[in-house]
Amino acid sequence: MELAALDYAVIAVFVLLILALGFSAKLRDSSVLQFVAAGRSLTLPVFVATLVSTWYGGILGIGESVTYYGLGTWVLMGVPYYVFALVYALYFAKRVRGSEQISLPERLELRYGKKVALLCAFLVFLLAVPATHVLMLGTLVDLLSGFGLSASIVIATIIGTLFLYKGGLLADVRVAILAFLMMYIGFAVIDFYCLAHYPILQTLNSLQDKNLLKWDGGKGILFVVSFFILGAWTLVDPGFHQRVASTNTPETGKKGVLISVFFWFLFDVLTITTGMYGISLHKGEGGVKLFPLFGNEILPPGLKAIFFCGMIGTIVSAMVGYTLVAGSTLGREVVARMRPMSEDKIKLWTRFGFGFACLVAILLAVNIDSVVNLWYSWSGAVVGALLIPVSLSYGLLWKSRAGSSAVFASMAISFCIAIAWLIFGMRTGNPYLSVHIQGNEFSLGTLLPGLAVSALIMGIGEAAARRKPQDE
């Protein structure tokens, strides 16, 4: 990296400002609800800011995706999440905020009992572990410092989550507001700079791989469908759920998600434009490092720092948000559910959960060096196991009569089969779990097999439950 003293100074001030905002958060009381859900008091502007920045925390993954799929990134990584966010806003948001439960395990315990809730908590913890964000922030720190990726991951994770131990969700929200502003400013800066110096049509026409200019990235409709289904992650994402549950009214939750869809679309325009310029003009390494390397190469001092601050803030906000969910899941949903304890002890276990989640994230990030792979394979296994039970618990899909045993079996078996399929893909050099159907490549992933198994077991349980009254 070739950063000037001005760049380092701007980035240092920005990082200090993040830490100052995080550590200055003052909780209204010492309750667990205040610590993990800000007392369910988030107003519309604050909710939108934290939801947008947290849910778009995988910024370097977008750069990696543009490297592989070009303009198709919008169809693969954008459109599915708009669609399922709209579904969430219309069918989930008011139900989530209107219920007394603030977490997915709580909701499943109400509907299916303690055993299902504990399994759900285990799966939610795995989904919330911020491995992608740890990898991305570590990558930026490595590029800025030269410490090496593993050391940079550890340093970035420790420093980036310190204020969470004191302020909980309120600290995360304060940082998210700054991140929300900087993510748009940072990418607007590089886009306007490129547009002013490089005509966009001429630049894109210089691409040698014309598949990158196709709507599907040249991958075909089956590949698009496989990625589209992964957008259902939105419906069971614990961070998404927690923020909606933390709004001040059900209407705020619904309106906030709808407004957020617009901001995600706007940010996709900015990031994909940057990515397309990057793969056209930058001749070096792409992938997860595309954005930082291209920004370093193309921008002058000062503007370069603003662009980096936009990436850093977005990643930190998301990393802290998911660390909070993972820690509260371990402390509040697992330990406290297994044995009653005071609120002070629940908060203590939650803070322990923060550290444990970060440790797991570091181990995953060091061993799986692709953000897209972490999204597609690891997360897909969890989403496939949770999607049907969570939807049914909120009265969606159908009016279920299946008992807790069927739900537990569907979640456990679905997850185990998906993970076994993931391990098989890694051992055979097929990390995206691609299969070939009539000469066409189709990335099956882990979500589809897991979801199919979950649906089959739930269907059997449903049929058995509906026959019981007739037999009796």
- Please, what sign has the CA dihedral across residues 96, 99, 105, 111? negative
187-200 tens-digit pLDDT: 999 999 999 999 99
Query: Whose structure tokens read 């009381």?
Result: 29
Contacts of 68 (CB under 8 A, 6+ apart): 217, 372
Q: How far is CA 360 from CA 132, 135, 151, 171, 302, in A?
A: 11, 12, 15, 22, 36
Query: What would the pLDDT profile of 53-81 be if each residue is shown by its tens digit?
Result: 888 877 888 888 899 899 999 998 889 99
Dmax over CA atoms of the chain, in Å, equals: 80
For residues 412-440, average pLDDT: 80
Find, among 387, 393, 449, 390, the residue nearest to 416 by Cα.
449
Structure tokens that stand for 199 in this block? 């005509």
Query: What pLDDT does 16 receive?
Result: 93
Give the three-class secondary structure for 437: strand
Q: Which structure tokens are listed for 56?
A: 């778009």
d(CA 172, CA 449): 35
Question: In 10 A of CB 218, how many CB atoms?
Answer: 16
Q: CB of 140 within 8 A of CB of 309?
A: no
Q: How many residues does the chain have?
A: 472
Residue 321 has pLDDT above 80, yes or no: yes
Q: pLDDT by residue (tens digit) across 268-280?
A: 999 999 999 999 9
- Give the CA-trace dihedral at 40, 43, 44, 46, to 10 degrees: -100
Query: Above 80 in pLDDT, residue 469?
Result: no
Contact 191/274 with Cβ under 8 angstroms? yes
Q: How far apart are alpha carbons 365 and 236 in whole angstroms?
A: 22
What are the tens digits of pLDDT across the range 230-286? 788 888 888 888 889 888 899 999 999 999 999 999 999 999 999 999 999 987 777
Q: What is the mean pLDDT of residues 70-94?
A: 91
| Structure letter (DSSP) for residue 232 | T
Cβ of 459: how many Cβ atoms within 10 Å? 14
* Torsion angle (degrees, nearest 10) of CA 188, 189, 195, 196: 140
Q: Name the token pair of 3.
A: 């950063």
Query: What is the structure's pLDDT at 472?
Result: 45
DSSP string of 330-373, one letter each residue: IIIIIIHHHS---HHHHHHHHHHHHHHHHHHHHHHHHH---HHH
Residue 304: both structure tokens together: 């370069």
Identity (one letter) of the amino acid at 133? H
Angle at the Cα of 173 from the Cα atoms of 75 and 127, rounded to 5 degrees:
50
Alpha helices in 212-335 (DSSP H): 221-230, 233-236, 238-245, 250-281, 290-298, 303-328
Place of tokens 């590089």: 190
pTM: 0.86
Measured between alpha carbons, how far is residue 286 from residues 179, 400, 442 in Å? 24, 47, 24
The C-alpha atoms of residue 407 and residue 1 are separated, in whole angstroms, by 51
pLDDT tens track for 322-346: 898 899 899 888 898 888 888 889 8
- Cα distance between residue 145 and residue 151, in whole Å: 10
Q: What is the pLDDT of residues 17-40, one digit of tens each?
A: 999 988 887 777 677 777 776 768
How far is C-alpha 447 from the geometric centre of its chain's CA atoms? Answer: 15
The span from the CA of 454 to the CA of 458, in Å, is: 6
Q: Is the dihedral of CA 119, 125, 131, 133 positive or negative?
A: positive
Which residues, in sequence order, are CB contacts of 397 under 8 Å at separation 6+? 388, 391
Task: Please name every residue paired with 440 in a beta bridge, in sequence order, or none if there are none.
Answer: 437
Question: Two tokens at 181?
Answer: 């502003």
